[in-house]
Amino acid sequence: MMKIIHTADLHLDSRLELIPDRSLAEERRNELLLCFRNMVAYAVKEGVEAILIAGDLFDVRKISQTARDAVIGVIVNNPDLKFYYLRGNHDEGSFVEEFRAKTGELPENFKTFNESWTSYELIGKDQTKVVISGAEITKRNNSLLPEELQMDENEVNIVMLHGMESDLSGKGDGEIIPLRDYRNKGIDYLALGHIHAPKIATLDARGKYGYSGCPEGRGFDECGSRGFHLITVSGRDLSVEFVPFAKRIVYDLEVDVKDADGSDAVIDRIKETALSGGVRPDDLLKVRLCGEKELDVSFDLTYIKTILDAEFFVFRIKDETKTIIDYDAFAKDASLKGEFVRMIREETEAGNLDEESAAEVIRTGIRMLCQEGKIQGN
């Protein structure tokens, strides 16, 4: 039996623009490196014999010295663990060249790929054998690759690619993987990178394909459980499972604030929703307030954010509530306030104002009219 990790899209050195606080972004950036180190430690502890990196190990062309040295160090210090590194569309930097420059030649346990198919025989400690093939997709080679892929159907075959799965042909597109062209070719597992949410699905009668996803969510477009895929090969059988591994999970939750009468009630409502959704203080949480609120109810988002910033690693809030304007309540109001609301209603009905803008104008208008009253009263 042999165990292999399939990972991809680590995006080391990500700028993490979705985390506005620079020091938190830097901490999170270091956690991406920590994740890679921890994954390797897991591999050593669990007897995993190889790690497949299906593209986008790095995020930017200019790789930081910290990230470069950390990755090189981990590979060099674990000579019994094999690393298969297939470059993705983000891996435009010169990592492999820098690695070679630093160590003289690439170590035996570090395997790379190029624009045409390269196949490696991976033989495990108990002689379990797997053939790992990979090619880096470009506009030029994409539609030719499936035809050029030669595999022995009697072997256990893993194929690595980086791109977007598609039912279309890959002709002239450097980022699309035409899945139909990889069916019925003898693939046991197609290990993919590029899509950041984990997925395991059927390729054909024989094989599966999977995106391991990014091992750590980096922003609010990467919500939910993250980790890697663990492949187990036993004789001719291959199985694959998702292993949750992320230190922090990113959540984007809707919180219904119907009948909440103020900011503190909203805070309670958010805490309840977070608790029932399994959000931990270590996590990144974005909430979208939804539901209807009365015209005289308003929430202080800055205050709410200050309180909840202290409860989560990153907290963001967006007000998507709808304000109910009960125009009929003002219909017979003979005061200036009633006149003002009737005027806004006409504007709304004429299509000059949407409901939310009308609510804001009415709220501001009434506040000003009330202040005016006070000043006159003094």
**Which residues bind to Mn ion, rule: CB under 5 A?**
56, 88-89, 194
Which CB sits closer to Mn ion, 186 or 210?
A: 210
By CB atoms closer than 10 A (0-12, 13-18, 19+), residue 87 is: buried
Closest C-alpha among 157, 113, 112 to residue 132: 157
Q: Which residue has the tokens 């996590």?
A: 283
Task: State which residue has the least CB distance to Mn ion.
Answer: 194
Q: In the complex, what is the shortest distance from the CB of residue 222 to Mn ion, in angstroms, rounded to a whole number? A: 13
Q: In the complex, what is the shortest distance from the CB of residue 313 to Mn ion, in angstroms, rounded to a whole number? A: 25
3-state SS, residue 109: coil
3-state SS, residue 332: coil
Which CB sits closer to Mn ion, 56 or 136?
A: 56
Q: In the complex, what is the shortest distance from the CB of residue 85 to Mn ion, in angstroms, rounded to a whole number? A: 14
Which CB sits closer to Mn ion, 78 or 89?
A: 89
Q: In the complex, what is the shortest distance from the CB of residue 162 to Mn ion, in angstroms, rounded to a whole number? A: 6
Residue 376 CB neighbour total at 10 angstroms: 7
Q: In the complex, what is the shortest distance from the CB of residue 290 to Mn ion, in angstroms, rounded to a whole number? A: 33
Which CB sits closer to Mn ion, 56 or 188?
A: 56
Q: Give the bridge partners for 252, in sequence order.
A: 286
Q: In the complex, what is the shortest distance from the CB of residue 10 to Mn ion, in angstroms, rounded to a whole number? A: 11
Pair 283, 250: CB distance under 8 Å: yes
Q: In the complex, what is the shortest distance from the CB of residue 88 to Mn ion, in angstroms, rounded to a whole number? A: 4
Report which residue type is found at 176: I
Which CB sits closer to Mn ion, 56 or 173?
A: 56
Distance CA 54, CA 112 (A): 11
Which CB sits closer to Mn ion, 112 or 232?
A: 112
Which CB sits closer to Mn ion, 168 or 370?
A: 168
3-state SS, residue 160: strand
Q: In the complex, what is the shortest distance from the CB of residue 251 to Mn ion, in angstroms, rounded to a whole number? A: 24
Token digits of residue 209: 């394909």
Which CB sits closer to Mn ion, 221 or 241?
A: 221
Pair 6, 229: CB distance under 8 Å: yes
Cα angle: 309, vertex 312, 316; to 5 degrees: 55
> In the chain, which residue ranges form alpha helices assigned H by DSSP?
22-46, 65-76, 95-103, 145-148, 263-276, 301-309, 327-331, 336-349, 355-377
Token digits of residue 317: 């809030």
Q: In the complex, what is the shortest distance from the CB of residue 53 to Mn ion, in angstroms, rounded to a whole number? A: 12
Pair 304, 270: CB distance under 8 Å: yes
Q: Give the bridge partners for 51, in sequence order.
A: 5, 83
3-state SS, residue 287: strand
Which CB sits closer to Mn ion, 58 or 330?
A: 58
Pairing of strands 227-234, 2-7: antiparallel
